[in-house]
Structure 1
Amino acid sequence: MGLTSFSADDPGGWDRLFEHARLFDRTGVDRLVVSDHVAFGENLDAYGRPEIGGVKGGRQPTGPDGLWLEPLTVLTAVSSVTSRIRLGTNILQAALRRPAVLAKTASTLDVLSRGRLDLGVGVGWQREEYEAAGLPFEGRGRLLDQTLEVLQTLWRERTASYDGDGLRFANIHQMPKPLQSGGVPIWVSGTVNRNVARRLARFGSGWIPWGPAAADPRAGIAAM
Protein backbone atom coordinates (compact mmCIF):
# COMPACT_ATOMS: atom_id res chain seq x y z
CA MET A 1 0.00 0.00 0.00
CA GLY A 2 1.43 3.35 -1.00
CA LEU A 3 1.95 5.86 1.80
CA THR A 4 1.95 9.36 0.35
CA SER A 5 5.09 11.15 1.51
CA PHE A 6 4.97 13.99 -1.01
CA SER A 7 2.70 16.93 -1.70
CA ALA A 8 2.27 19.37 -4.56
CA ASP A 9 1.78 22.17 -2.02
CA ASP A 10 2.61 22.73 1.63
CA PRO A 11 0.32 20.28 3.49
CA GLY A 12 0.58 22.21 6.75
CA GLY A 13 2.16 19.25 8.51
CA TRP A 14 2.47 15.53 7.97
CA ASP A 15 0.23 14.13 10.72
CA ARG A 16 -1.97 12.38 8.15
CA LEU A 17 1.02 10.30 7.03
CA PHE A 18 1.30 8.82 10.52
CA GLU A 19 -2.46 8.38 10.82
CA HIS A 20 -2.49 6.33 7.62
CA ALA A 21 0.51 4.28 8.73
CA ARG A 22 -1.20 3.39 12.02
CA LEU A 23 -4.39 2.51 10.13
CA PHE A 24 -2.53 0.23 7.72
CA ASP A 25 -0.74 -1.46 10.60
CA ARG A 26 -3.95 -1.97 12.58
CA THR A 27 -6.07 -3.30 9.71
CA GLY A 28 -3.71 -5.99 8.42
CA VAL A 29 -2.13 -4.36 5.37
CA ASP A 30 0.95 -6.41 4.51
CA ARG A 31 3.33 -3.62 3.50
CA LEU A 32 3.47 0.13 3.11
CA VAL A 33 5.82 1.78 0.64
CA VAL A 34 7.10 5.30 0.06
CA SER A 35 8.74 6.83 -3.01
CA ASP A 36 11.84 8.91 -3.59
CA HIS A 37 13.10 12.02 -5.29
CA VAL A 38 16.24 13.78 -4.09
CA ALA A 39 15.78 16.83 -6.32
CA PHE A 40 13.93 17.96 -9.44
CA GLY A 41 14.92 19.67 -12.62
CA GLU A 42 12.35 21.56 -14.65
CA ASN A 43 11.98 19.05 -17.51
CA LEU A 44 9.21 16.92 -16.03
CA ASP A 45 8.15 15.83 -19.53
CA ALA A 46 11.02 13.34 -19.30
CA TYR A 47 8.80 11.24 -17.01
CA GLY A 48 6.71 10.37 -20.07
CA ARG A 49 9.68 8.98 -22.03
CA PRO A 50 10.06 5.18 -21.64
CA GLU A 51 13.45 5.16 -23.39
CA ILE A 52 15.05 6.93 -20.41
CA GLY A 53 13.11 5.16 -17.68
CA GLY A 54 9.80 7.01 -17.66
CA VAL A 55 6.30 5.79 -18.44
CA LYS A 56 4.56 6.43 -21.76
CA GLY A 57 2.01 9.15 -21.13
CA GLY A 58 3.06 9.39 -17.49
CA ARG A 59 2.84 12.59 -15.47
CA GLN A 60 4.57 13.47 -12.24
CA PRO A 61 2.15 14.02 -9.31
CA THR A 62 3.85 17.32 -8.40
CA GLY A 63 5.71 20.10 -10.13
CA PRO A 64 9.42 20.68 -9.61
CA ASP A 65 8.66 22.61 -6.41
CA GLY A 66 6.68 19.76 -4.87
CA LEU A 67 7.58 18.62 -1.37
CA TRP A 68 9.11 15.12 -1.27
CA LEU A 69 10.21 13.69 2.07
CA GLU A 70 13.33 11.50 2.17
CA PRO A 71 12.00 7.91 2.23
CA LEU A 72 14.32 6.19 4.70
CA THR A 73 13.82 9.03 7.17
CA VAL A 74 10.06 8.65 6.73
CA LEU A 75 10.21 4.89 7.31
CA THR A 76 12.32 5.36 10.43
CA ALA A 77 9.67 7.67 11.85
CA VAL A 78 6.85 5.36 10.74
CA SER A 79 8.55 2.37 12.36
CA SER A 80 8.16 4.07 15.73
CA VAL A 81 4.35 4.23 15.44
CA THR A 82 3.79 0.75 13.94
CA SER A 83 4.63 -2.75 15.11
CA ARG A 84 3.71 -5.29 12.43
CA ILE A 85 3.53 -3.92 8.90
CA ARG A 86 6.54 -4.24 6.61
CA LEU A 87 8.17 -0.99 5.51
CA GLY A 88 9.40 -0.54 1.95
CA THR A 89 10.58 1.84 -0.72
CA ASN A 90 8.97 1.98 -4.15
CA ILE A 91 11.42 2.96 -5.27
CA LEU A 92 14.64 4.24 -3.70
CA GLN A 93 17.14 5.66 -6.19
CA ALA A 94 19.91 3.85 -4.40
CA ALA A 95 22.69 4.88 -6.79
CA LEU A 96 22.29 8.51 -5.69
CA ARG A 97 23.54 7.54 -2.21
CA ARG A 98 27.09 6.57 -1.28
CA PRO A 99 26.97 2.79 -0.85
CA ALA A 100 28.57 2.42 2.60
CA VAL A 101 26.40 5.20 4.04
CA LEU A 102 23.25 3.67 2.55
CA ALA A 103 24.23 0.25 3.94
CA LYS A 104 24.55 1.76 7.41
CA THR A 105 21.29 3.69 7.16
CA ALA A 106 19.32 0.66 5.97
CA SER A 107 20.88 -1.61 8.61
CA THR A 108 19.98 0.85 11.34
CA LEU A 109 16.39 1.10 10.11
CA ASP A 110 16.09 -2.69 9.92
CA VAL A 111 17.33 -3.00 13.50
CA LEU A 112 15.06 -0.25 14.85
CA SER A 113 12.02 -1.67 13.02
CA ARG A 114 12.80 -5.20 14.27
CA GLY A 115 13.50 -6.58 10.81
CA ARG A 116 10.67 -5.06 8.79
CA LEU A 117 12.51 -3.24 5.99
CA ASP A 118 12.28 -4.04 2.26
CA LEU A 119 14.46 -1.98 -0.08
CA GLY A 120 12.86 -1.45 -3.49
CA VAL A 121 15.40 0.08 -5.86
CA GLY A 122 15.51 1.40 -9.40
CA VAL A 123 17.56 3.62 -11.70
CA GLY A 124 15.15 6.54 -12.02
CA TRP A 125 14.40 8.67 -15.07
CA GLN A 126 15.64 12.19 -14.34
CA ARG A 127 19.01 13.36 -15.62
CA GLU A 128 19.04 16.48 -13.45
CA GLU A 129 18.77 14.40 -10.28
CA TYR A 130 21.99 12.57 -11.10
CA GLU A 131 23.71 15.79 -12.12
CA ALA A 132 22.80 17.35 -8.76
CA ALA A 133 24.46 14.38 -7.05
CA GLY A 134 27.56 14.68 -9.24
CA LEU A 135 26.90 11.35 -10.95
CA PRO A 136 26.63 10.31 -14.62
CA PHE A 137 23.07 9.67 -15.78
CA GLU A 138 24.21 7.34 -18.56
CA GLY A 139 26.01 5.11 -16.07
CA ARG A 140 23.18 4.84 -13.57
CA GLY A 141 22.59 1.11 -14.14
CA ARG A 142 26.23 0.33 -13.46
CA LEU A 143 26.18 2.60 -10.40
CA LEU A 144 23.10 0.81 -9.06
CA ASP A 145 24.72 -2.59 -9.52
CA GLN A 146 27.83 -1.46 -7.67
CA THR A 147 25.73 0.02 -4.88
CA LEU A 148 23.86 -3.26 -4.44
CA GLU A 149 27.13 -5.21 -4.46
CA VAL A 150 28.48 -3.06 -1.64
CA LEU A 151 25.25 -3.22 0.36
CA GLN A 152 25.17 -7.00 0.33
CA THR A 153 28.90 -7.26 1.03
CA LEU A 154 28.67 -5.03 4.10
CA TRP A 155 25.48 -6.69 5.33
CA ARG A 156 26.73 -10.26 4.97
CA GLU A 157 30.44 -10.18 5.81
CA ARG A 158 31.69 -9.52 9.32
CA THR A 159 34.97 -8.19 7.89
CA ALA A 160 34.18 -6.79 4.45
CA SER A 161 36.40 -6.09 1.46
CA TYR A 162 35.48 -4.80 -1.99
CA ASP A 163 37.38 -4.07 -5.19
CA GLY A 164 35.31 -2.49 -7.93
CA ASP A 165 35.23 0.29 -10.49
CA GLY A 166 36.46 3.39 -8.66
CA LEU A 167 35.70 1.96 -5.22
CA ARG A 168 37.98 -0.16 -3.10
CA PHE A 169 38.15 -1.00 0.60
CA ALA A 170 39.57 -3.80 2.73
CA ASN A 171 38.91 -5.26 6.18
CA ILE A 172 36.00 -2.96 6.95
CA HIS A 173 33.75 -3.51 9.97
CA GLN A 174 30.23 -2.10 9.83
CA MET A 175 27.89 -2.94 12.67
CA PRO A 176 25.15 -3.60 13.47
CA LYS A 177 24.13 -5.90 10.66
CA PRO A 178 20.48 -6.00 9.56
CA LEU A 179 18.31 -8.28 11.68
CA GLN A 180 17.08 -10.13 8.61
CA SER A 181 19.24 -13.07 7.60
CA GLY A 182 21.30 -12.25 4.51
CA GLY A 183 20.56 -8.56 4.83
CA VAL A 184 17.65 -6.33 3.94
CA PRO A 185 15.61 -7.88 1.07
CA ILE A 186 16.17 -6.02 -2.20
CA TRP A 187 13.28 -5.61 -4.61
CA VAL A 188 14.38 -4.64 -8.11
CA SER A 189 12.16 -2.31 -10.11
CA GLY A 190 12.14 -1.94 -13.86
CA THR A 191 10.59 -2.82 -17.18
CA VAL A 192 10.94 -6.23 -18.80
CA ASN A 193 14.46 -6.13 -20.19
CA ARG A 194 17.73 -8.02 -19.98
CA ASN A 195 19.44 -5.63 -17.56
CA VAL A 196 16.59 -5.73 -15.06
CA ALA A 197 16.33 -9.52 -15.35
CA ARG A 198 20.05 -9.88 -14.66
CA ARG A 199 19.88 -7.47 -11.71
CA LEU A 200 16.86 -9.30 -10.32
CA ALA A 201 18.57 -12.70 -10.59
CA ARG A 202 21.72 -11.40 -8.95
CA PHE A 203 20.39 -9.27 -6.12
CA GLY A 204 16.64 -9.47 -5.91
CA SER A 205 14.18 -10.96 -3.47
CA GLY A 206 11.36 -9.72 -5.69
CA TRP A 207 10.46 -7.61 -8.71
CA ILE A 208 8.54 -4.32 -8.81
CA PRO A 209 7.10 -4.08 -12.35
CA TRP A 210 7.39 -0.75 -14.17
CA GLY A 211 5.89 0.56 -17.37
CA PRO A 212 3.56 -1.80 -19.28
CA ALA A 213 4.37 -4.64 -16.87
CA ALA A 214 2.89 -2.63 -13.99
CA ALA A 215 -0.41 -2.41 -15.86
CA ASP A 216 -0.42 -6.17 -16.58
CA PRO A 217 1.76 -7.93 -13.96
CA ARG A 218 0.82 -11.44 -15.12
CA ALA A 219 2.05 -10.75 -18.64
CA GLY A 220 5.10 -9.00 -17.24
CA ILE A 221 6.03 -11.96 -15.06
CA ALA A 222 5.62 -14.34 -17.99
CA ALA A 223 7.80 -12.14 -20.20
CA MET A 224 10.45 -11.70 -17.52
Structure 2
Amino acid sequence: MEFFFDLLDNQASWDTLTRSIPWLLWNIWKNRNSILYADTQESLAFWIQNAEEEATSWFEANRKVGTPLEMCAAIDSGKKWSPPIEGGALIARDSTGNVLLHARDAFTPSTNRLVAELKGVIWVLESVRDLRMSSVVIASDHSDTVEAILAPHSWPRYRSLLEHIGSLGGSFISVSFEVEKIGANFISREIARSVFRDGRFQSYISIGRTGMASQLSLTRKRLDKTFESFL
Protein backbone atom coordinates (compact mmCIF):
# COMPACT_ATOMS: atom_id res chain seq x y z
CA MET A 1 0.00 0.00 0.00
CA GLU A 2 2.86 2.39 0.80
CA PHE A 3 4.12 1.91 -2.75
CA PHE A 4 0.78 3.06 -4.19
CA PHE A 5 0.58 6.14 -2.02
CA ASP A 6 4.19 7.01 -2.78
CA LEU A 7 3.14 7.13 -6.43
CA LEU A 8 0.45 9.68 -5.58
CA ASP A 9 3.24 12.07 -4.58
CA ASN A 10 4.32 12.14 -8.22
CA GLN A 11 2.58 15.34 -9.41
CA ALA A 12 3.01 14.41 -13.09
CA SER A 13 0.60 11.49 -12.72
CA TRP A 14 -1.59 12.94 -9.95
CA ASP A 15 -4.84 13.27 -11.95
CA THR A 16 -4.57 9.85 -13.51
CA LEU A 17 -3.73 8.09 -10.25
CA THR A 18 -6.30 9.84 -8.08
CA ARG A 19 -9.17 8.91 -10.37
CA SER A 20 -7.73 5.38 -10.56
CA ILE A 21 -7.81 4.78 -6.78
CA PRO A 22 -11.00 2.60 -6.84
CA TRP A 23 -9.48 0.44 -9.56
CA LEU A 24 -6.13 0.32 -7.70
CA LEU A 25 -7.89 -1.05 -4.61
CA TRP A 26 -9.79 -3.55 -6.73
CA ASN A 27 -6.55 -4.73 -8.37
CA ILE A 28 -4.91 -5.08 -4.95
CA TRP A 29 -7.76 -7.40 -3.99
CA LYS A 30 -7.38 -9.40 -7.20
CA ASN A 31 -3.62 -9.68 -6.61
CA ARG A 32 -4.30 -10.97 -3.07
CA ASN A 33 -6.65 -13.65 -4.43
CA SER A 34 -4.08 -14.65 -7.05
CA ILE A 35 -1.49 -15.17 -4.33
CA LEU A 36 -3.83 -17.12 -2.01
CA TYR A 37 -5.69 -19.30 -4.51
CA ALA A 38 -3.59 -19.47 -7.67
CA ASP A 39 -0.13 -19.12 -6.12
CA THR A 40 0.77 -16.49 -8.71
CA GLN A 41 1.67 -12.84 -8.45
CA GLU A 42 1.99 -10.09 -11.05
CA SER A 43 4.31 -7.13 -10.66
CA LEU A 44 3.07 -3.92 -9.03
CA ALA A 45 3.71 -2.08 -12.30
CA PHE A 46 1.28 -4.46 -14.05
CA TRP A 47 -1.52 -3.82 -11.56
CA ILE A 48 -1.00 -0.04 -11.68
CA GLN A 49 -1.10 0.00 -15.47
CA ASN A 50 -4.15 -2.26 -15.48
CA ALA A 51 -5.96 0.01 -13.00
CA GLU A 52 -5.16 3.12 -15.04
CA GLU A 53 -6.42 1.49 -18.26
CA GLU A 54 -9.66 0.34 -16.62
CA ALA A 55 -10.24 3.78 -15.10
CA THR A 56 -9.58 5.53 -18.41
CA SER A 57 -11.99 3.19 -20.24
CA TRP A 58 -14.71 3.79 -17.64
CA PHE A 59 -14.39 7.58 -17.76
CA GLU A 60 -14.39 7.57 -21.57
CA ALA A 61 -17.51 5.39 -21.67
CA ASN A 62 -19.30 7.65 -19.18
CA ARG A 63 -18.09 10.96 -20.55
CA LYS A 64 -20.93 13.49 -20.82
CA VAL A 65 -21.34 16.69 -22.78
CA GLY A 66 -19.85 19.32 -20.51
CA THR A 67 -21.68 22.57 -21.36
CA PRO A 68 -25.25 23.54 -22.29
CA LEU A 69 -24.02 24.78 -25.68
CA GLU A 70 -22.37 21.45 -26.43
CA MET A 71 -25.51 19.65 -25.29
CA CYS A 72 -27.69 21.71 -27.62
CA ALA A 73 -25.26 21.06 -30.46
CA ALA A 74 -25.40 17.32 -29.77
CA ILE A 75 -29.20 17.34 -29.85
CA ASP A 76 -29.30 19.45 -33.02
CA SER A 77 -26.86 17.12 -34.74
CA GLY A 78 -29.43 14.34 -34.60
CA LYS A 79 -27.72 12.10 -32.06
CA LYS A 80 -30.88 11.76 -30.00
CA TRP A 81 -33.14 9.02 -31.38
CA SER A 82 -36.88 9.57 -31.42
CA PRO A 83 -39.41 6.83 -32.20
CA PRO A 84 -41.51 7.36 -35.33
CA ILE A 85 -45.06 8.66 -35.14
CA GLU A 86 -47.84 6.34 -36.35
CA GLY A 87 -50.86 7.31 -38.38
CA GLY A 88 -54.30 5.82 -38.83
CA ALA A 89 -57.12 6.48 -41.26
CA LEU A 90 -60.61 5.17 -41.89
CA ILE A 91 -63.03 5.42 -44.80
CA ALA A 92 -66.66 4.59 -44.03
CA ARG A 93 -68.89 3.42 -46.90
CA ASP A 94 -72.54 2.44 -47.06
CA SER A 95 -73.79 -0.89 -48.38
CA THR A 96 -73.60 0.37 -51.98
CA GLY A 97 -69.97 1.53 -51.66
CA ASN A 98 -70.62 5.26 -51.44
CA VAL A 99 -68.21 7.14 -49.15
CA LEU A 100 -69.94 8.45 -46.04
CA LEU A 101 -66.90 9.95 -44.31
CA HIS A 102 -63.16 9.65 -43.86
CA ALA A 103 -60.93 10.45 -40.89
CA ARG A 104 -57.30 10.53 -39.82
CA ASP A 105 -55.40 10.58 -36.51
CA ALA A 106 -51.84 10.27 -35.16
CA PHE A 107 -50.92 7.68 -32.53
CA THR A 108 -48.11 7.15 -30.06
CA PRO A 109 -45.42 4.65 -31.14
CA SER A 110 -46.12 0.91 -30.77
CA THR A 111 -43.80 -1.99 -30.06
CA ASN A 112 -44.72 -3.86 -33.27
CA ARG A 113 -47.03 -3.89 -36.29
CA LEU A 114 -49.82 -5.90 -34.66
CA VAL A 115 -50.03 -3.57 -31.65
CA ALA A 116 -50.29 -0.61 -34.03
CA GLU A 117 -53.05 -2.33 -36.04
CA LEU A 118 -55.04 -3.24 -32.92
CA LYS A 119 -54.78 0.33 -31.63
CA GLY A 120 -56.07 1.43 -35.02
CA VAL A 121 -59.06 -0.92 -34.76
CA ILE A 122 -59.86 0.48 -31.30
CA TRP A 123 -59.77 4.01 -32.73
CA VAL A 124 -62.07 3.00 -35.60
CA LEU A 125 -64.58 1.34 -33.26
CA GLU A 126 -64.62 4.33 -30.93
CA SER A 127 -65.05 6.70 -33.88
CA VAL A 128 -67.98 4.91 -35.52
CA ARG A 129 -69.59 4.35 -32.11
CA ASP A 130 -69.46 8.08 -31.41
CA LEU A 131 -71.05 8.65 -34.84
CA ARG A 132 -74.01 6.47 -33.78
CA MET A 133 -73.39 3.72 -36.32
CA SER A 134 -75.02 0.49 -35.18
CA SER A 135 -73.93 -2.13 -37.72
CA VAL A 136 -70.38 -2.11 -39.10
CA VAL A 137 -68.00 -4.31 -41.07
CA ILE A 138 -64.34 -3.48 -40.46
CA ALA A 139 -61.92 -4.52 -43.21
CA SER A 140 -58.14 -4.68 -42.73
CA ASP A 141 -55.33 -5.72 -45.07
CA HIS A 142 -53.38 -7.16 -42.11
CA SER A 143 -54.49 -10.78 -41.73
CA ASP A 144 -52.91 -11.27 -38.27
CA THR A 145 -55.06 -8.44 -36.92
CA VAL A 146 -58.30 -10.07 -38.01
CA GLU A 147 -57.09 -13.49 -36.85
CA ALA A 148 -56.21 -12.13 -33.40
CA ILE A 149 -59.61 -10.43 -33.02
CA LEU A 150 -61.51 -13.56 -34.07
CA ALA A 151 -59.41 -15.90 -31.89
CA PRO A 152 -58.14 -13.78 -28.96
CA HIS A 153 -57.25 -16.82 -26.81
CA SER A 154 -54.55 -17.72 -29.34
CA TRP A 155 -52.91 -14.33 -28.87
CA PRO A 156 -52.45 -13.97 -25.06
CA ARG A 157 -49.70 -11.39 -25.43
CA TYR A 158 -52.26 -8.89 -26.76
CA ARG A 159 -54.98 -9.74 -24.26
CA SER A 160 -55.52 -6.18 -23.01
CA LEU A 161 -56.02 -4.71 -26.49
CA LEU A 162 -58.20 -7.61 -27.65
CA GLU A 163 -60.41 -7.39 -24.56
CA HIS A 164 -60.85 -3.68 -25.23
CA ILE A 165 -61.90 -4.45 -28.80
CA GLY A 166 -64.34 -7.09 -27.55
CA SER A 167 -65.82 -4.62 -25.07
CA LEU A 168 -66.28 -1.99 -27.78
CA GLY A 169 -67.94 -4.57 -30.01
CA GLY A 170 -70.76 -4.79 -27.49
CA SER A 171 -71.72 -1.20 -28.36
CA PHE A 172 -73.06 -2.28 -31.77
CA ILE A 173 -76.02 -4.30 -32.98
CA SER A 174 -73.60 -6.15 -35.23
CA VAL A 175 -69.87 -5.85 -35.90
CA SER A 176 -67.71 -8.10 -38.05
CA PHE A 177 -64.12 -8.16 -39.25
CA GLU A 178 -62.72 -9.28 -42.58
CA VAL A 179 -59.46 -9.30 -44.52
CA GLU A 180 -59.16 -7.41 -47.79
CA LYS A 181 -56.39 -6.91 -50.31
CA ILE A 182 -53.86 -4.14 -49.81
CA GLY A 183 -54.94 -2.50 -53.06
CA ALA A 184 -58.49 -2.09 -51.77
CA ASN A 185 -57.11 -0.01 -48.91
CA PHE A 186 -55.03 2.30 -51.11
CA ILE A 187 -56.78 5.56 -50.17
CA SER A 188 -56.91 4.96 -46.42
CA ARG A 189 -53.27 3.79 -46.38
CA GLU A 190 -52.14 6.98 -48.13
CA ILE A 191 -54.12 9.16 -45.73
CA ALA A 192 -52.56 7.32 -42.78
CA ARG A 193 -49.06 7.68 -44.24
CA SER A 194 -49.52 11.43 -44.53
CA VAL A 195 -49.13 11.63 -40.74
CA PHE A 196 -45.44 10.66 -40.66
CA ARG A 197 -44.60 11.41 -44.30
CA ASP A 198 -45.98 14.96 -44.44
CA GLY A 199 -46.11 15.73 -40.71
CA ARG A 200 -49.92 16.01 -40.68
CA PHE A 201 -50.49 15.35 -36.99
CA GLN A 202 -53.84 17.17 -36.79
CA SER A 203 -56.73 14.72 -36.56
CA TYR A 204 -59.85 15.32 -38.64
CA ILE A 205 -63.13 13.81 -39.75
CA SER A 206 -64.78 14.81 -43.02
CA ILE A 207 -68.20 13.95 -44.41
CA GLY A 208 -68.27 12.61 -47.96
CA ARG A 209 -65.38 12.30 -50.38
CA THR A 210 -63.57 15.62 -50.13
CA GLY A 211 -60.02 16.96 -50.00
CA MET A 212 -57.28 14.34 -49.82
CA ALA A 213 -59.65 11.40 -50.19
CA SER A 214 -61.04 12.82 -53.45
CA GLN A 215 -57.56 13.47 -54.86
CA LEU A 216 -56.37 9.99 -53.91
CA SER A 217 -59.47 8.45 -55.48
CA LEU A 218 -58.66 10.18 -58.78
CA THR A 219 -55.05 9.03 -58.51
CA ARG A 220 -56.17 5.46 -57.94
CA LYS A 221 -58.46 5.57 -60.98
CA ARG A 222 -55.60 6.86 -63.15
CA LEU A 223 -53.34 4.07 -61.88
CA ASP A 224 -56.03 1.48 -62.64
CA LYS A 225 -56.47 2.83 -66.17
CA THR A 226 -52.71 2.85 -66.72
CA PHE A 227 -52.50 -0.74 -65.55
CA GLU A 228 -55.37 -1.79 -67.82
CA SER A 229 -53.62 -0.22 -70.83
CA PHE A 230 -50.70 -2.61 -70.31
CA LEU A 231 -52.93 -5.69 -70.27
TM-score normalised per structure 2:
0.26
More helix by share: 2
Structure whose alpha-carbon radius of gyration is higher: 2
TM-score (norm 1): 0.27
